[in-house]
Amino acid sequence: MTVRFIRLELREVKIPFRFSFKHALATRREADNLILALHTDTGHVGYGEVIPREYLTGETVDSAWQDLMAQYWPAIKDLDLTPEKLPLEQLQPVFAWATEHRKTSAYAGIDLAVWDAWARVSGRPGKSLFGQPRPPGAVAITGPLGAGSLRQMWRTASLMKWVGYGQFKLKVGGVQDLAAVRLLRRIIGSRRDLRVDANGGWEETQAIAMAQELRQFEVSSVEQPIPAGDVAALARVQREGGLPVMADESLCTLADAQDLLAEKAAAIWNLRLAKIGGFTGFLAMLQVAGYPLPPTLHLDIPGQEQQISDHRPKIQLGVLVGETSILTAAARACWGLCPYVHVEYGFPRILLKIDPFTGDPGGYSGTGHPLGEEFGLGVSPRRYHLHKVTVRRQVLD
């Protein structure tokens, strides 16, 4: 039995947030995403989501839309999948083009849709999408805190502590960073993990000085302290600042990953499905980072056989602000692939005024659970709500 894709439905959706979320690079008040519905000749539908960020990969909503029509749909509709074999091998050439041309955001959406459709046809539960064992028990979820007033941060952090969060991430890169970190540490106490994310808001000298100052508050890491583009400078911040550096904006493609490894520039990698190429990109990143994967999940990555590194970064499973339940479910499908130092969560039912998909199980009390027995991502559209937030739609046959 072979499975072919016969139709791709593209939607641009604009979903207002319940509250704005601010960091050093942007203040977001709505999600401007693309939703993909990939139809098979067996009558199954797989879903994907694209969240373009121009400061990450250079992609916009319009450019991602065009790439899906002109590049990815023609490649995907020619695939012949079988229920017995993972789609990884057939997807690899498409992903290779995406990561080479730094168009991994648009590719991530079609990649997720292919995997979801394949799993639904194959009867593969989301909890073991890649054959991994289900993680034992609950997974600790990070409590995110955007840049804002100290009063607002105090209220939100106090609530998160009360409901059970043990890990906190604070957006920094402003004029009151040290005051905010000092207050947050006082609120959450000494036993809870605290890390900061500058979103490239500091220059190199400032980042080194800030990292040295932050050590007194037992900050566990600093995420993207300087703008992306200078891997050697990022390595210097880590060496001289004395805190583990987490790469985010500096890590979108396989070339980025290999550059980071060569310079030992980041102790932690923030892998977000929506920026690195979906499931296929995620597996490729784990392989480059040196994490053992079964043979069925290995990719042929050019140059990796020559790149031998004694540096294996820790992995954060991250999210982008504004994810619907599609990407939230996709991240949960990755639980169990490696030991994560941190796991983030999209909180679609809190942040979004309308989540156009079902399937979000929670994660709001500081812990989350992997996907269950439903096939694929286990999400389904809430059709009235999806129609309400759609601003553009096109069907490709």
Q: Where are the domains of the chain?
A: 5-125+381-396, 128-378
3-state helix, strand, coil in the chain (%, to 5): 40, 25, 35
Please identify, in words, the CATH class of the domain defined by 5-125+381-396. alpha beta
pLDDT tens-digit series, residues 281-297:
999 999 999 999 999 99
The predicted pLDDT at position 146 comes to 86
Distance (Å, whole) CA 203 – CA 357: 40
Structural Rg of the chain based on CA atoms:
20
Distance (Å, whole) CA 203 – CA 89: 41
CATH architecture of 128-378: Alpha-Beta Barrel (3.20)
List the chain residues with pLDDT less than 50: none
Distance (Å, whole) CA 324 – CA 331: 11
Q: Which tokens in the block code for residue 244?
A: 């583990």
pTM higher than the cut 0.85: yes
The predicted pLDDT at position 24 comes to 56
pLDDT tens-digit series, residues 256-284:
999 999 999 999 999 999 999 999 999 99
